A and B are shown apart, each in its own frame.
Chain A
Amino acid sequence: MREGEVIRIAGTLVVGTGIPDITIGEVVEVGSEGLIGEVIRIIEDTFAVQVYEPTSGLKPGDPIKGTGKRLVAELGPGLLENIFDGVGRPLEDLIKASGPFIKRGIKAYTLPRDKKWEFKPTVKEGEYVSGGDIIGEVQETVNTVHKIMVPPDVSGKLLEIAEGEYTVTDVIAKIETEEGIIKELTMMQEWPVRVARPIAPDGRLSLDTPLITGQRVIDVFFPVAKGGAAAIPGGFGTGKTITLHQLAKWSDADIVVYIGCGERGNEMAEVLTDFPELKDPRTGRPLMERTVLIANTSNMPVSAREASVYIGITIAEYYRDMGYDVSLMADSTSRWAEAIREISGRLGEMPVERGFPAYLPDKIAEFYERAGRVKALGKPERVGSVTIVGAVSPPGGDFNEPVTIHTLRFTGVFWALDPDLAYSRHFPAINWLKSYSLYANQILGGFVGSFSMYRQELFNWWKSVQSDFNVYRDKAMEILTTAAEVESIARIIGEKSLPDDQRLLLLTSELLKEGFLRQNAFDEVDTFSEPEKSALLLKLIIDFHHMVEKVIKKRIPIDRVIDLPVVAKIKRVKFDPRRVEAILEVAQEAREELLKLAEEYRVEVEI
Chain B
Amino acid sequence: MGVDVRDISGLIYRGIREVKGSILVLDPIPNVLYDEVVRVRAPDGIDRLGRVLEVSKDYIIVQVFGEESGLQTDTVIKFTGSTFEIPVSDDVLGRMFNGRFEPIDGMGPIASRDKRDINGEPINPKARIHPNNFIQTGISAIDGMLSLVRGQKLPIFSESGLPHNRVAAQIARQATVLGEEEEFALVFAAMGLKNDEARFFIDSFKLSGAIERSVVILNLADDPAIERLVTPRIALTIAEYLAFELGYHVLAILTDMTNYCEALREVSAAREEIPGRGGYPGYMYSDLATIYERAGIVRGKPGSLTQMPILTMPAGDKRHPIPDLTGYITEGQIILSRDLDSRGIYPPINVLPSLSRLMRSGIGPDKTRDDHKDVADQLYDAYSRGLKARDLARIVGEMGLSDRERLFLKFADVFERKFVNQGEYENRSIDETLDLAWEVLSILPPEELVRVKEETLEKYYYKAKHPEA
Contact = CB atoms under 8 A, between A and B. Distances in A.
A393 interface: yes
A242 to B, nearest CB: 9
A185 interface: no
Nearest to A419: B353
Q: Chain B interface residue count: which class?
A: 35 or more
B424 interface: no
Contacts, number: 226
Q: Chain A interface residue count: which class?
A: 35 or more
Interface stretch (B52-60, B65-73, B190-198): B52-60
A568 B409 CA distance: 20
Interface in B323-359: 324-325, 327-329, 331-333, 352-353, 355, 358
B30 interface: yes
B208 interface: no
Contacts of B83: 56-57
A489 to B, nearest CB: 12
A99 B122 CA distance: 11
Contact of B122 (A102, A266, A395, A491): A102
A269 B276 contact: no
Interface in A155-209: none
B262 interface: no
Contact of A568 (B373, B384, B450): B450
Given A236-B328, A266-B131, A298-B293, A10 B124 contact: no
A8 interface: yes
Nearest to A8: B56
A60 B122 contact: no
A103 interface: yes
Interface string A258-280: 00101011101110110000000
B276 A355 contact: yes
Nearest to B319: A396
Interface in B228-279: 244, 273-277
A266 B321 CA distance: 23
Contacts of A99: 127, 300
Contacts of B282: 338, 341-342, 345, 355
Contacts of B381: 424-425
Given A264-B293, A299-B294, A57 B276 contact: no
Contact of B274 (A8, A15, A345, A419): A345
Given A260-B125, A425-B380, A495-B405, A237 B333 contact: yes
A100 interface: yes
A282 interface: no
Interface stretch (A65-73, A88-96, A110-118, A410-418): A88-96
A592 B418 CA distance: 42
A359 interface: no
B391 A351 contact: no
A302 B56 contact: no
Contacts of B296: 265-266
Contacts of A58: 33-34
Nearest to A241: B357
B447 A91 contact: no
A424 B331 contact: no
Contacts of B385: 424
B286 A302 contact: yes
B204 to A, nearest CB: 29
Contact of A9 (B54, B119, B293, B352): B54
B274 A266 contact: no
B321 A395 contact: yes
B42 to A, nearest CB: 25
B56 A354 contact: no
A448 interface: no
B353 A91 contact: no
B285 interface: yes
A316 to B, nearest CB: 20
B293 A299 contact: yes
Contacts of A102: 121-124
A126 interface: no
Contact of A100 (B54, B119, B123): B123
Interface string A357-396: 0000000000000000000000000000000000001011
B392 A494 contact: yes
B316 to A, nearest CB: 14
B218 interface: no
A124 interface: no
Contacts of B20: none
A92 B319 contact: no
Contacts of A302: 283, 286
Contact of B402 (A235, A351, A496): A496
Given A9-B34, A266-B130, A342-B283, A565 B447 contact: yes
A273 B128 CA distance: 10
Interface string B426-469: 00000000000000000000010011011000000000000000
Contact of B151 (A266, A419, A572): A266
B126 interface: yes
B361 interface: yes
Contacts of B36: 57
Interface in A18-62: 54-61
Contacts of B450: 514, 568, 571-572
B286 A342 contact: yes
Contact of B286 (A7, A298, A424): A298
Given A7-B57, A91-B124, A338-B285, A265 B384 contact: no
Interface string A397-436: 1100000000000000000000100011100000000000
Interface stretch (B94-102, B104-112, B393-401): B393-401
B123 A56 contact: no
B10 to A, nearest CB: 17
Interface string B351-375: 0110100101100000000000100
A266 B54 contact: no
B124 A396 contact: no
Nearest to A10: B54
B129 A237 contact: no
A396 B35 contact: no
A355 B31 CA distance: 33
Residue among A100, A266, A335, A567 with the highest chain B CB neighbour number at 10 A: A266
B28 A60 contact: yes
A8 B57 contact: yes
A494 B401 CA distance: 6
A346 to B, nearest CB: 9
Contacts of B294: 299
Contacts of A269: 125-126, 128-130
Given A100-B299, A494-B396, A568-B447, A424 B380 contact: yes
A68 to B, nearest CB: 26
Given A59-B31, A492-B395, A272 B126 contact: yes
B298 A100 contact: yes
Contacts of A508: none
Given A57-B33, A59-B31, A266-B151, A83 B273 contact: no
B391 A491 contact: yes
A342 B274 CA distance: 10
A361 B51 CA distance: 37
A300 interface: yes
Contacts of B34: 9, 55-59
Contacts of A425: 377, 380-381, 384, 451
18 contacts: A8-B55, A56-B35, A58-B34, A103-B121, A235-B324, A264-B329, A266-B296, A266-B331, A268-B125, A297-B293, A298-B285, A299-B294, A300-B122, A338-B285, A345-B282, A393-B328, A424-B384, A494-B402
Sorted from nearest, which 8 A-B pairs have the closest CB atoms? A8-B56, A298-B289, A396-B319, A100-B127, A299-B293, A56-B35, A236-B327, A91-B126
Given A11-B54, A56-B119, A395-B324, 19 more contacts: A8-B55, A9-B55, A10-B53, A54-B119, A56-B117, A92-B126, A99-B300, A100-B123, A100-B128, A100-B301, A235-B319, A262-B289, A298-B286, A300-B122, A354-B277, A393-B328, A424-B352, A425-B377, A425-B380
